[in-house]
Structure 1
Amino acid sequence: MLASKSLGIDFPRSEKQTLVRFLALYILLTVIIILVFSFIYFELQKDLMLQEKKSTLQKYSKELIEDLKQLHVYFDKTQIYPRSDKFDSAIFDNEKKLIFSTNDTKLRLDKILYLESGVIHLVNIPESYYLGARYIIVKVKDDEVWLEQTKKEIITFGAITFLFMLVIGYILLRLFLKPMRDAITLLDEFIKDTTHELNTPVSTIVANIEMIDKSSLDEKLLKKINRIDIGAKTVSNIYQDLTYLTLGNEIASNNEDIDIEQLVLERVEYFTSLALAKKIKICTNIRERTFLHVDKFKISKLLDNLLSNAIKYNKVGGEIIVTVESRVFSVEDSGIGIAEEDISEIQGRYKRFNKSSGGFGIGLSIVSAIAKEYNLKIDITSKERVGTKVSVSW
């Protein structure tokens, strides 16, 4: 199957992309939650530190106010504003104009206790206006011991929480995916059982039709036989596609040198009746004989899907040209074509860009899988309402 493994479950590429997006969103939300709680914890730790420093700053503030009071009472022009080696200070008047400061840093009066630029500030308002002082600020440098400790705690608990949330996400994802896994398993079993039951009757019908001498039949009966032949071959082709999808990994490859010219002629003859039903002409253009070392069943399946799509998406009365050159063969049709923006996605399973045509949309996904197994290069060129050309090279 064209599937990718995720959490021990096989999923097609589109489902895997959905799971990756879900995990990315879950991880993003987890990181956001951790960051929000880390910020809240950091602010709480900062407030706790400020409250612990507050008593010391209040003590310094009282000392400064007492010194101001003494200077106010025993004022002498030779005296200067009080200062201390233990803290920096600043004095503002009633109009919030700076009277005195022991450094040039910008100060704020809108908060009582705050941390800014690594310095803790306490704003105090004296009971009396000593020497015109209305606001007194005392400042001490933060030793940042609490900051380093808080960082360590945030990193440690953040990492533990992230891993815990990943485990929870993994468990939830497996629980949510169980119905999908069961459905895929049930579908695979159903397809395997169905294809197994189809094998004998389809093979019998095709074999018996091929043994009929059509030259001895009247025209009316010949048309009926041809319709049966077309229907049987269509069902046979679908059966082989489903067989490859369900058992592709289990089918042992019997690689040998395949004559591509001979294979093309065989498969074109097989699909002639299907093409004639839509009045489509299949032309072969063998420019050079070439060989490819592959499993005959798989390379036949690849070519069959290219021819089947060329018929299915062609117009009535259209044309198909199958070209064989050195180390390359191509199938070109005159059909509806593919939009340029859809070409990159057309090889995905269940991709059909024309809902009016039948099919399951698995043809080119099988082509892609076989090409990948044998390192074949698939090149698709197409123009809407003109046609499509698919080249396989090695």
Structure 2
Amino acid sequence: MFRNVEIALASLYVTTTGILIAGIYYVHQVLGVEQWGIIAFLSLLITLIVGGVMARIAITPLREHFYHLERFSKETLHELNLPINTITANVQMLRKTHTDEKSLKRLERIEVASEMLKERYNELDYMIKKQSEREKIEHFDLGEVIEARLVFLRSLYPSVVWQVDIEPCDVYGDRIGLSKVIDNLIENGVKYSPKNPIITITLRNYTLSLCDQGMGMDEITLIHIYDRYYQSDSTMAGYGIGLNLVKRYCDRYAIALHISSKVNEGTCVKLEFKKREENGK
């Protein structure tokens, strides 16, 4: 497909150049026009017309490719939703007939894995909608979003000690995207706190703070933390793209992002949201 685009673009260049040269020759030699200003204007006009037509032809294969890719992604997401719901429903049914501790622990692990699949489903759905510029921008209570995420994260990380102090906070933006930002920051805190993880979450005066007492980062690492695929410790799980996405979200919705860290003491991330009267919404 991309080979066809390359061929189309090369054809665009050659054809436009040929028509331009032929046009100049025809106007100057055949029609006898000596005013070079008129010749230049007509040449520019011909170039714009031919270039526009050829560019439309060249971009058609790429447009069709992304259209089919988006449709395939939506169909795949739809197919994933059914087995996830089936697993969840059957786990709930099995809980009614299995009461011994061993079976309940197994069911709990299945349920947590199902929730993780559901989160990935929501994330893919969010990314597809974001690419299509169809995010749902709205006012919502950030405190409620944090509480909802903690319900899931507490089951996922039972060994973590959570210190939570949040108040209602009305913000404006993309609720699903902000949920992913919170998940990423908390998961980073857990991931880089290998011993007795303690996560402190504070929401006061339109400022969200997420702090851990983990391994921390030095100044060199802090310089590169927003680089895509960068990881300070290659042995840790993850793709190294999380903070890059966090920063992009914060930049998009004018959220001030501050990260402070000390080696062997931990890391603290602060998100400063605009008050409702400040963003004019």
- Same fold per TM (> 0.5)? yes
Instruction: Quote the residue 1:218 is aligned against.
Output: 100
* Counterpart code for 2:248: A
Identity %: 30
Report the Cα distance in structure 2 between the residues aligned to 1:357 and 1:384, rounded to whole angstroms. Answer: 16
User: Which stretch of the first structure deviates more once superposed, 238-247 or 291-300?
Assistant: 238-247
Instruction: Quote the residue 2:271 is aligned against.
Output: 392
Structure 1 residues 284 and 345, CA gap change in structure 2 (3 angstroms): same
Instruction: Quote the residue 2:161 is aligned against.
Output: 281
Instruction: Quote the residue 1:310 is aligned against.
Output: 189
Per residue, is there more helix in 1 or in 2?
2
Q: Report how far residue 386 of structure 1 moved.
A: 2.0
Instruction: Quote the residue 2:32 is aligned against.
Output: none
1:189-242: CA deviation from partner (whole Å, max 9, x where unpaired)? 8x9489635444345435655777589732211221222233233333344444
Structure 1 residues 240 and 316, CA gap change in structure 2 (3 angstroms): farther
Q: Report how far residue 291 of structure 1 moved.
A: 1.1
Pairs within 5 Å for 1:1-394 = 192=73, 196=77, 198-206=80-88, 209=91, 217-245=99-127, 247-276=129-158, 279-286=159-166, 288-394=167-273
Instruction: Quote the residue 2:56 is aligned against.
Output: none
1:163-211: CA deviation from partner (whole Å, max 9, x where unpaired)? xxxxxxxxxxxxxxxxxx9xxx8xx88x948963544434543565577
Report the Cα distance in structure 1 between the residues aligned to 2:175 and 2:212, rounded to whole angstroms. Answer: 24
Gaps of 5+ in 2: 6-61, 274-281
Report if aligned partners of 1:195, 1:242 keep a CA contact under 8 Å in 2: no
Q: Report how far residue 245 of structure 1 moved.
A: 4.4
1:260-311: CA deviation from partner (whole Å, max 9, x where unpaired)? 11111111111111111xx11122112x432101122122121122222222
Report the Cα distance in structure 1 between the residues aligned to 2:146 and 2:125, rounded to whole angstroms. Answer: 22
Structure 1 residues 365 and 325, CA gap change in structure 2 (3 angstroms): same
RMSD: 3.3
* Counterpart code for 1:249: Q
TM-score of the pair, normalised by structure 1: 0.46
1:249-269: CA deviation from partner (whole Å, max 9, x where unpaired)? 215122222111111111111
* Counterpart code for 2:202: T
Report the Cα distance in structure 2 between the residues aligned to 1:255 and 1:249, rounded to whole angstroms. Answer: 15
Report if aligned partners of 1:275, 1:282 keep a CA contact under 8 Å in 2: no
- Report which structure shows greater RCO (CA 8 Å, sep ≥6): 2
Larger Rg: 1
Report the Cα distance in structure 2 between the residues aligned to 1:362 and 1:325, rounded to whole angstroms. Answer: 28
TM-score of the pair, normalised by structure 2: 0.63
Report the Cα distance in structure 2 between the residues aligned to 1:230 and 1:316, rounded to whole angstroms. Answer: 22
* Number of residues of Structure 1 aligned to a counterpart in Structure 2: 208
Gaps of 5+ in 1: 1-7, 9-180
